Amino acid sequence: MSSLPASISAGLLLAAISVLKTHDLPAPSALSVLQATGATKTTAYKAKGAIERALPGLLRPPGRPPKLPDLGNADTRLALAHQVRDFLFDHPGCVSGSSLRRNPSAKLHGRILGARIDRVYAPS
């Protein structure tokens, strides 16, 4: 791990300080971390924040992943498909690309997600 940039090394060490102190283990001071790594305070603390935000997502909880919301019966899915088809007909520029790879526009993404969210989370 010595090939890590100084800011990442410092951020990792800064993030570890609170964990070390929680377990009553010896921990370096923030100043000594910055001096040892040669990182600047700003970049080291930015890296620390990024590392702390990333940590919860590194391990999945035990067991099966949560079940995705039910998309409804075949009639509901067909109605959604018809909405998408009608949107495509009404907005011919919302998809670009070739027959090998097509790219939907942000407007189409929003329309599909909005329709899906409305159907999935509609009050029963």
> pLDDT tens string for the chain (124 positions)?
468 899 999 999 999 999 999 999 999 999 999 999 999 999 999 999 999 999 888 887 788 877 777 767 788 778 878 888 887 788 777 777 777 777 777 777 676 666 655 554 455 4
Under a CB-based contact definition with an 8 Å cutoff, are residues 19 and 28 in contact? no
What amino acid is encoded at 104 in this protein? P
Cα(37)–Cα(6) distance, integer angstroms: 5
**What's the pTM value of the predicted model, to 2 decimals?**
0.50
In this structure, are 88 and 113 located in the same domain? Answer: yes
In this structure, are 49 and 11 located in the same domain? Answer: yes
Cα(34)–Cα(40) distance, integer angstroms: 7
Tokens of 50: 């990024």
Which domain, by its residues, includes 113? 74-120
In this structure, are 53 and 78 located in the same domain? Answer: no
Tokens of 17: 């300080």
Three-class DSSP category at 64: coil
Distances (CA, A) of 51 to 47, 56, 58: 6, 10, 10
Q: Examine residue 112 and state whether it is found in any structural domain, yes or no.
A: yes
Counting the structural domains of the chain, the total is: 2
Cα(79)–Cα(41) distance, integer angstroms: 55
In this structure, are 12 and 37 located in the same domain? Answer: yes
